[in-house]
Structure 1
Amino acid sequence: MSGKPAPSKIHGGHGQIFWFIIKTYKNGPMTQKLDQVHVSKDAKFVPNVKVSSPLGSFDATFLLYPSAALALIMFAGGTGITPMVRIIAHVVEQYHNGGLSDGVDVVLIFWNKTMEDIIWNDQFTDLSQSESDWFRFIPVLTQPAQSWKGLVGRPSMMQINAILDDYLPDRDVVTEKHALICGSNGFIKSVEDAISGEFPKNFLHAFEG
């Protein structure tokens, strides 16, 4: 089994504990098995885990010395949220440690089928309220319940432009505007096609594999 590690919470303080984001599927044979493992009593049955960096090949050095007007627009589909969590946690830590100045914006657009599928919905909602000056969270559903009041639909140029007009209205004056994409191959292609005229290729990164 291979996996991607993630912080236990968005606000730093991870220590030496190793955490994973694993989405459990009702009829999924693998995730159901993992869900039943209790490390305290079943330690000998825990499989060996090969781990890659949550950021993969993404070069995040520009976050160490960000420009005065930097925007990260994150496009995540389902479990494609994993690398975004680590980057958001880094930005939170930098803000709280005084490593970032005002002017760095993060917009997370997160597509899922249903509201129940939204991983870390409460944490992202709380962060969007406590850090509203720089973090925006926009969940989008493709198979919503009738009670859903948020955005609906698959990624499209019209939808994404409308979201950015609402949540990042000054994007035309942003010095650096990076698009980060993670999800299924079909999701990544849909987003890339929708934003091809909005971001330079060297400021667009798709997390794959």
Structure 2
Amino acid sequence: MATVDGKEIARSYTPTSTDNDKGFFELVVKTYPTGVISSYLDKMSIGDTIDVRGPRGAFKYTPNMVRAIGMIAGGTGITPMYQIIQHILGNPEDKTKVSVVFANVNEDDILLREQLEKWAAEHENFEIAYVLNNPPSGWTGATGFVSKDMLQKAMPEPASDIKVLICGPPPMVKAMDGHLTDLGYDKAKTISKPEDQVFKF
């Protein structure tokens, strides 16, 4: 929370650090020219402060809670996924298979790419596929919007021991709801509960 032009403004962000990091937390914040809080944070100097409260959210991950998790992220929607992926891959006893479809407009928009690709190279139970709306010349990944066919190939098949997590812009989340319903997943609720097969952050 920050005071901007005399008004208290609050936004929700997911830490990319874990509960094992003591005494600090890290955020990934994408700066937009019209973003009130992101622009404010971008202009802060060392020693400046903001008020923080939390944690919030209903989804709590526990090791091996399901056999496989599919994740659909758009832009900064990768941050809650990133935290869960860290917990899974950082625990040798956790055998959960994780498949991520990560959609962005441009290649430069792909947040946390270096670490995500490092994990994909090091862990057999983690894979990631990128989708770009505006791909550069020579791009070999998927292009356009995330399609039903992409999800059918990347997500675990509907079953009682899997979950699909979604986080991204509202139009994307709505489209993913439709695709997943068509593919036979339990329809995502307007307000997701942790026990739902499809959970929206």
Any residues of structure 2 matched to 1:51-200 within 5 Å, and which?
Answer: 51-53=54-56, 56-60=57-61, 63-66=62-65, 70-95=67-92, 98=93, 100=94, 102=95, 104-131=96-123, 133-164=124-155, 171=157, 176-196=161-181, 197-200=183-186
**Structure 1 residues 92 and 163: alpha-carbon distance in aligned structure 2, compared to 1, 3 A threshold:** closer
Gaps of 5+ in 1: none
**CA–CA distance in structure 2, aligned partners of residues 64 and 27 of structure 1:** 39
**Structure 1 residues 123 and 31: alpha-carbon distance in aligned structure 2, compared to 1, 3 A threshold:** same
Structure with the higher helix share, 1 or 2: 1
**CA–CA distance in structure 2, aligned partners of residues 175 and 52 of structure 1:** 28
- The answer (yes or no) to whether the contact 2:147–2:179 under 8 Å persists in 1 is yes
Aligned to 1:38: 45
Amino acid in the other structure paired with 1:31? S
- The answer (yes or no) to whether the contact 1:6–1:85 under 8 Å persists in 2 is no
Q: Larger RCO: Structure 1 or Structure 2 (Cα < 8 Å, ≥ 6 residues apart)?
A: 1
Gaps of 5+ in 2: 1-9, 188-195
Aligned residues: 183
**CA–CA distance in structure 1, aligned partners of residues 197 and 175 of structure 2:** 17
Aligned to 1:6: 15
**CA–CA distance in structure 1, aligned partners of residues 64 and 137 of structure 2:** 45
Q: CA RMSD in A?
A: 2.4
Using the size of structure 2 for normalisation, the TM-score is 0.79
